[in-house]
Amino acid sequence: MSTQAQNPDSNQQGNRLDPWFNAYAERAHNLRASEIRALFSVVSRPEVVSLAGGMPNLKDLPLDQLAESAKRLISAHGAQAMQYGSGQGWEVLRERITEVMSYDGIVGADPDDVVITTGSQQALDLMTELFIDPGDVILCEAPSYVGALGVFRARQADIAHVPMDDKGIIPAELERVIREVRASGRTIKMLYTIPNFHNPMGVTLSLERRPQITEICMREGVLIMEDNPYGLLGFHSDPMPALKSFSPEGVVYLGSFSKMFAPGFRIGWAYAPHAIRDKLVLASESAILSPSMIGQMAIADYLSSYDWYSQVKTFRAMYAERCQAMMDALEEFMPDCEWTHPDGGFYTWVTLPEGLDAKSMLPRAVRAQVAYVSGTAFYYNGEGADHMRLSFCYPTPERIREGVRRLATVVNAEKELVDMFGAGFHRRNIDDVGPGVAPAPNAL
């Protein structure tokens, strides 16, 4: 036992709280708590209006029917439901998933090319494991989903962000970033994109740009990983055709039941070109042997015995109402900010007045009993401090209005300071917060 790693007592250099610090693989040091998870304990206090998390609102779920379904499944198929299943996932559910994908313009999908995963998060991880050697580049929208950035970092990928506007990723910018990354001698392995109701920006890739993005990637030999958990949750229209429908061989499509149904069963999927599908199955078997059988059976039963698309429409109406409440409140209380106008999904992306820093302002917001996620969580390189992501999915419309009102008091107080002392000035001591930012006595 000669190395520091093997002898915890001799470890002088590592983290003082963890005697095994030097024993970890290099990639383990890339694991970070997401800025969202770090907030969880504070924002789940009832007095705080959380505009931070992206938890689906399950108040309208048909729980009685789900209880009936679970009972029926266990009575009739208990032994199968409790057993290991196929590594690729249960064939019956894979069939059903091809029907779900037809709403995204993916027609005639082959169930044999579907791989069931433990949420789409596992599919993100498997894809990264399969394609990324340390230092390989993944192109991501700027900003991008914090959970994907965490996986990419953990798997030692390098990220190159591609600018977006209110129509999604900008084709000319995609071409420019591909050129620049290659000129720097690095290898691009894929484009990771969330075309519908983007997390965190709330925008949707326009119909016009969809074939342009797939054409550029095909021409440049860049695989697309299309992540679509919110696609069915458009407020006013049915989904636009998936990128996968433009380029079946060039796109791995990731789907999820977490937002269109519920995350509790942790079921998602990847729909991949055949050769990639083979590798995904092997990688998934090596990670988890097989996805939860009972979860798959429960979802298959929900899809076949319940009018699930009507349920999706109920969710859409509920989220649309909440989104409208947030748009109205932003208009009323935060006229100095700009924000995106989502047509679906859970989020809006707010641009703060010049000089304000969302990350350093957050303790003051939590003190005023409202929470958001700083824009910095959604960039690989620490950019984004002039933005914040607000979620409208969970609180009631009244709480959303109150949350935005509280937030406005913090933003206005911060703006006054910046106007007085100049940009770059950030108070860090939350004890300095004055009564002007405290919630109203009768606050919700």
Ligand X SMILES: Cc1ncc(COP(=O)(O)O)c(C=O)c1O
Closer residue to ligand X in complex, CB, 125/386: 125
CB of 198 to ligand X, least distance (A): 8
Q: From start to end of 84-185, where are the E strands?
A: 114-118, 137-142, 158-165, 168-169
Using CB under 6 A, which residues numbered 226 to 285 contact ligand X?
227, 229, 256, 258, 263, 268
What are the phi and psi torsion angles at 382 (to 5°)?
Answer: 85, 0
Task: State the minimum distance, in angstroms, from the CB of residue 431 to ligand X.
Answer: 34
Site mask, ligand X, residues 190-219, x = CB under 6 A? ----x----x--------------------
Nearest-angstrom CA–CA distance, 268 and 265: 9
Contact call for residues 317 and 265 (beta carbons, < 8 A)? no
Nearest approach in angstroms of CB 427 to ligand X is: 32
Residue closer to ligand X (CB basis): 199 or 369? 199
**Cβ closest to ligand X, residue 227 vs residue 386:** 227
The distance of closest approach from Cβ of residue 227 to ligand X in the complex, given in angstroms and rounded to an integer, is: 5
Q: Which is nearer to ligand X, 147 or 439 (CB)?
A: 147
Which residue carries 């100049």 as its tokens? 422
**DSSP designation for 227:** E
Q: Binding marks (x or -) toward ligand X, 17..56, rule CB under 6 A? A: -------------------------------------x--
Nearer to ligand X, 89 or 268 (CB): 268
Least distance (Å) from ligand X to the CB of residue 268? Answer: 4
Indicate whether 89 belongs to the interface with ligand X (CB under 6 A): no
CA distance 151 to 117: 15
Identify residues 134-193 at the interface with ligand X (CB under 6 A). 145, 147
Residues 117, 61, 205, 392, CA torsion sign: negative
CB of 231 to ligand X, least distance (A): 10
Task: Compare residues 333 and 378 and give the one whose CB is closer to ligand X.
Answer: 378
E strands present in 93-207: 114-118, 137-142, 158-165, 168-169, 188-193
CB of 256 to ligand X, least distance (A): 3
State which residue, 272 or 361, has the beta carbon closest to ligand X. 272
Query: Minimum CB separation from ligand X for residue 146, in Å?
Result: 8
**Nearest residue (beta carbon) to ligand X:** 119
Cβ atoms < 10 Å from Cβ of 408? 21
- The CA distances from residue 191 to 31, 213, 306, 392, in Å, are 22, 10, 36, 28
Q: Nearer Cβ to ligand X, position 11 or 98?
A: 98
Number of residues counted as binding ligand X (CB under 6 A) = 14
Listed in sequence order, the residues at least 6 apart from 418 whose beta carbon sits closer than 8 Å to its beta carbon are 353, 354, 355, 356, 425
> Mask: binding to ligand X, 98-127, rule CB under 6 A, as x and -?
---------------------xxx------
* Rounded Cα gap, residues 292 and 89, in angstroms: 9
Q: How far is the CB of 184 from ligand X (least distance, A)?
A: 28
The 3-class secondary structure across 241-300, one letter per residue, is CCHHHHCCCCEEEEEECCCCCCCCCCEEEEECCHHHHHHHHHHHHHHHCCCCHHHHHHHH
Smallest distance from the beta carbon of 199 to ligand X, in angstroms? Answer: 4
Q: Name the token pair of 341.
A: 């106008």
Nearer residue to ligand X within complex by CB, 121 or 214: 121
- State the Cα–Cα distance between residues 26 and 23, nearest whole angstrom: 9
Helix, strand, or coil here: 192? strand
CB neighbours of residue 428 within 10 Å: 8
CB 22 within 8 A of CB 13: yes
Quick one: 194 or 222, whose CB is closer to ligand X? 194
Peptide bond into 211 cis (omega under 30): no
Q: Which is nearer to ligand X, 50 or 199 (CB)?
A: 199
- Minimum CB separation of residue 421 from ligand X in Å reads 37
Q: Going by DSSP bridges, is the β-strand pair 137-142/158-165 parallel, antiparallel, or unpaired? A: parallel
- Which positions lie near ligand X, rule CB under 6 A? 54, 119-121, 145, 147, 194, 199, 227, 229, 256, 258, 263, 268
